[in-house]
Amino acid sequence: MAEAQEPRRWESTSAPTHPVPSPSPNPIAELQQVFGTLLLVTRDKPKHPTPKTIPRWTGSFRLFDFPREMRDRIYHYALHSPSGVVYRRSRAHTRTWPFEDTPRTQLFLSSRQVYSESLQVFCRETVVRITFRSQLSGTLRLFPDQPARLLQRIKLEYRSHWQLRGVGNSWGDMITQARLAKEFFPLLRECTAVWHVDEYVLEKTGLDFKDKTVEEQTEVWAEALRSWYEGNKLVPPRWLRVELVAMWGYLHASLQASFHAALDGFRREVEAMDRHGTENDLESSGRKWLETWGGGKGRKKRSRG
């Protein structure tokens, strides 16, 4: 009879148990496994993203659907010239556009309304350099009428004119021609006289600026302006500006700054003299009125009846 075998030690004699459930998978790990490195790239994206490329518009648009302010900006970008444009009397005899170096003038040919609106912007923001020889009035008489009614900024060139007429007479011509330009251009608010000068010639006429400070140069200009005023009694208008340019070589910036300071001070002096003269005139006229009508001695009293 066979002997009964002993149970093995490694075999369990106890009742079977249920298996332990495995832990649930991590959702983040599953997403990273599905989408790869997309989440990591998104998490580490730069703080300042690159700007988006704006597509270029190649179609047409309705200009008059924009408000007038937007249309004026468009006209400005299309027509504005930082260096200005040049008007010559020789071009006024032709039927072409009378200004030189004007970009994209085809805009004026679009329609009547575009021409009217764009011309206003052109004449308001563009500096027109007017070249003339001796008589400015002859050049202005040939200026186109419609731009003349709208133009606001001009420049007048003075090269050898002051050498022929002298410094003081040239200054008087600038004042006279600035007032003349105001008659031709009613909306004129800035008339710049480009004065080509030579420091050596100025020194020979008594205007010595060599080795002087800005304050001393200002005083030299102020004395010259007072003497010129005593000779012609002409007051520079408020719309007159002066730009000093060297005829040969280099012109110190202090000479320009000192002239502007002297011109501003001279204008204040003239305004003060005008106010004082007006007050004296009013006082004398009031005294005369009192002597005539308020004396009382020779006036008969009205009898009461």
Q: What does the pLDDT look like over 96-115, one tens digit per residue? A: 566 765 556 778 888 899 99
| pLDDT given for residue 124 in this prediction | 92
Q: What pLDDT, on the 0 to 100 scale, is given for residue 27? A: 66
3-state per-residue secondary structure call for the chain: CCCCCCCCCCCCCCCCCCCCCCCCCCHHHHHHHHHCCHHHHHHCCCCCCCCCCCCCCCCCCCHHHCCHHHHHHHHHHHHCCCCCEEECHHHHHCCCCCEECCCCHHHHHCCHHHHHHHHHHHHHHCCEEECCCCCHHHHHHCCCHHHHHHCCEEEEEECCHHHHHCHHHHHHHHHHHHHHHHHHCCCCCEEEEEEEECHHHHHHCCCCCCCCCHHHHHHHHHHHHHHHHHHHCCCCCCCEEEEEEECCCCCCHHHHHHHHHHHHHHHHHHHHHHHHHHHHHHHHHHHHHHHHHCCCCCCCCCCCC
| Other Cβ atoms closer than 10 A to 210 | 9
By mean pLDDT, which of 10-14, 124-128, 229-233 is the weakest? 10-14
pLDDT for res 97: 64
- pLDDT of 70: 93
- For residue 277, what pLDDT band results from cuts at 50, 70 and 90? low
| Residue 138 pLDDT > 50 | yes
The pLDDT of residue 231 is above 70: yes
Examine the pLDDT at 195 and tell me if it is beyond 50.
yes
More confident residue, 66 or 281: 66
Mean pLDDT, rounded, for 15-19: 55
Residue 150 has pLDDT above 90, yes or no: yes
Cα–Cα distances (Å) from 161 to 99, 158, 188, in that order, read 24, 6, 24
In a 10 Å sphere around its CB, with 0-12 CB exposed, 13-18 middle and 19+ buried, how is residue 184 labelled? middle
* Closest CA relative to residue 88, chosen from 130, 128, 127, 133: 130
Range with the poorest average pLDDT among 53-67, 171-185, 189-203:
53-67
Tell the residue number behind the tokens 């008969």, with chain if given.
Answer: 300
* Dist CA 107 CA 79 (whole Å): 8
Work out the average pLDDT over 125-149. Answer: 87
The amino acid at 26: N
Mean pLDDT of 217-243: 90
Predicted confidence at residue 133, as pLDDT, reads 75
**pLDDT, mean of residues 64-91:** 85
Nearest Cα to Cα of residue 241 among 153, 145, 123: 153
**Mean local confidence (pLDDT), 50-79:** 81
Q: Phi/psi of residue 254, each to 5°?
A: -65, -30
Higher-confidence residue of 231 and 261: namely: 261
**Of residues 119, 182, 180, the one with CA closest to residue 150:** 119
Average pLDDT along the chain: 77
Average of pLDDT values for 189-204? Answer: 85
pLDDT at 297: 47
Q: Which residue has the higher pLDDT, 171 or 295?
A: 171
pLDDT of residue 91: 53
Residue with the bigger pLDDT between 210 and 286: it is 210
Determine which of 9-18, 26-35, 50-59 has the lowest per-residue pLDDT on average.
9-18
